[in-house]
Amino acid sequence: MPRTRYDGLTDEALCSLFQSEEKEPAFTALYTRYAHRIYLYALAVTGTREIAEDILQETFTRFFQVATGPGIIEKVSNYLFVVARNLSITAQERSRKVVGLEDLDLQTVQPDPDR
């Protein structure tokens, strides 16, 4: 990917551009800087490419909403990884298999003699 004048700016300088007309190139620079690491993190936690891609997209969607609003992001990398972590944990909790009664072999279940 060709380098732009935004690539050399700090995260904080790029964030300050979100309040101007330069939000799209600033967002692109931050996305280019962090997307691969966020994706790999989400993939490591969830183990699923599709879920990791969804987490990546949602992480940057939330970042954009906060960065273009009145909110303040002190440290971009911390914000992105906390959001990705929370989304990954939520995805893991949702993906845990729930065993339904139809999946149980009630013939082999033995009652607890202490109850």
Q: Is residue 98 very low, low, confident or very high in pLDDT (cuts 50, 70, 90)?
A: low
Considering only residues 28 and 94, tell me which one the structure prediction assigns the higher pLDDT. Answer: 28
Distinct helix (H) and strand (E) counts, the chain: 4, 0
Distance (Å, whole) CA 23 – CA 18: 4
What's 49-114 look like in SS3?
HHHHHHHHHHHHHHHHHHHCCCCCCCCHHHHHHHHHHHHHHHHHHHHCCCCCHHHCCCCCCCCCCC
Contact (Cβ atoms closer than 8 angstroms) between residue 13 and residue 4 = no
The pLDDT tens digits for 4-53 are 778 888 888 898 888 888 889 999 999 999 999 999 999 999 999 999 99
Distance (Å, whole) CA 39 – CA 34: 9
Stated pTM of the model: 0.76
Domains within the chain, CATH numbers bracketed: 11-96 (1.10.1740)
